[in-house]
Amino acid sequence: MTLDCETVVGTPSSTNSSAWYLWSVIAAATLYDVGFYWDISWHQTIGRDSFLTPAHIAIYLCGVIGGTASALIIFRTTFGSHEAARAASVRIWGLRGPLGAFVVAWGGLLMLTSGPFDNWWHNAYGLDAKLNSPPHWVLTTGVFAIQIGGIVLVSGILNRRPPPPRHTLEWIPLHLGAMVVAIPLALVNNRVLQHSAIFFVAVSAAVPIVMLAVATVSERRWACTTLAAIYSAFVLGFLWILPLFHGSPGLGPVYRSISQFVPPSFPVLLIVPSYFIDRARAKWPAQSLWLRAAIYGGLFVIVLAFVQWPFADFLMSAYSRNWIFGTQHLPYFIPPSARLARNEFLLEKNSLQLLGGMVVAFCTAVAGSRLGLTAGNWLRRVRR
């Protein structure tokens, strides 16, 4: 697929050339998720042995590629002579460029700033210091800026095109949205939590806002389902490929013998509630924002709980300990007494506490859906 350059930073023209900077931003956003999942596996299999691991290189390439590409867009628009490009730009600190390019460039700068800070932090506070640290906050802020800036950039491209038929680039916001939701889901997707309300609250906080925002700007019929399918395929790729490679612990204490890389957990079953949300979007396209948010948020929590709860039982069983579901793979630092090693759920104290938590999950999903619809409507108005 090709784009004419003016379509990215201006208006369509008859000159067809690859819009390499747009694809660079897409590649950068994807590279971070590749490095992020790979890095988690690296820590669970080996530990932190050095700063320049392949996973870390993939992560920081996100900042290098995204930041460099966006800087070139900005400098080309500022100092070039193409009037259409300047007309489709915003002015910040005397520079001109698409709004999304400025967001991506800022994110790339944050990511590259976090690198030396992260290396110093690990040297000062331990080779395998916790994920929750200031340099990781800076890094995460930077990568979300790159991914969200990419969504803003491609939204402007779509919105500047003539009326239907829409361009085939509609799938790109969905891909970028899948990369966004894959990050928090990697942290909360623990089968131990999947019979507790905290899991559904966390997933409801992370997914509906992004899913509905990019679905609104994409306007594809099965937008939410497509996003969920991209996320699922991405995680399944790591689940099935990483164990093919040799790996062993390099730090202690070591509670279990490992000879292959530990993959991520089986993806959350987002594709089922996403399908029902897409059906609802087609049936009630013109209702009030709050009514649609209540419908979409309610469907998300109810359907996800309906399918994920029994699926979690399956993941705890011996039937899931195979190459397809991968529940036999555990990090080297998980002791035999841990719930994950014993295949035990973390449960609420009583049914009333569980019910209260699910009400919170419902409200969170509705609020996230409302914010997602609002963000999507804003993205549809982006022209620069």
Mean pLDDT, the chain, whole residue set: 85
What's the pLDDT score for residue 315? 97
Size of the chain in residues: 384
The distance from CA 336 to its chain's CA centroid, rounded to whole angstroms, is 32
Q: How confident is the model at residue 11 (pLDDT cuts 50, 70, 90)?
A: very low
| pLDDT for 378 beyond 50 | yes
The distance from CA 265 to its chain's CA centroid, rounded to whole angstroms, is 15
pTM: 0.88
Quick: pLDDT tens for 196-236. Answer: 999 999 999 999 999 999 999 887 889 999 999 999 999 99
What's the pLDDT score for residue 136? 74
Rounded alpha-carbon distances, angstroms, from residue 351 to 78, 188, 287, 314: 61, 22, 35, 22
**CB neighbours of 98 closer than 8 A, spacing ≥ 6?**
8, 9, 73, 77, 88, 89, 90, 152, 153, 156, 384
Of 30-39, 164-173, 186-195, 316-325, the poorest mean pLDDT is in 164-173
- The residue assigned the tokens 């890389």 is 261
273 and 354 in contact (C-beta within 8 Å)? no
| pLDDT for 171 beyond 80 | yes
Average pLDDT over every residue of 227-246: 96
| pLDDT for 182 beyond 70 | yes
Q: How confident is the model at residue 1 (pLDDT cuts 50, 70, 90)?
A: very low
> What is d(CA 216, CA 76) in angstroms, rounded to the nearest whole number?
30
Which residue ranges make up each domain of the chain?
1-162, 191-384
| pLDDT for 370 beyond 70 | yes
pLDDT greater at residue 151 or residue 8 = 151
Structure tokens at 238: 């790591």
Q: How confident is the model at residue 166 (pLDDT cuts 50, 70, 90)?
A: low
Measured from the Cβ of residue 242, the count of other Cβ atoms closer than 10 Å reads 22
Of 66-70, 306-310, 313-317, the poorest mean pLDDT is in 66-70
222 DSSP 8-state letter:
T
pLDDT greater at residue 1 or residue 14 = 1
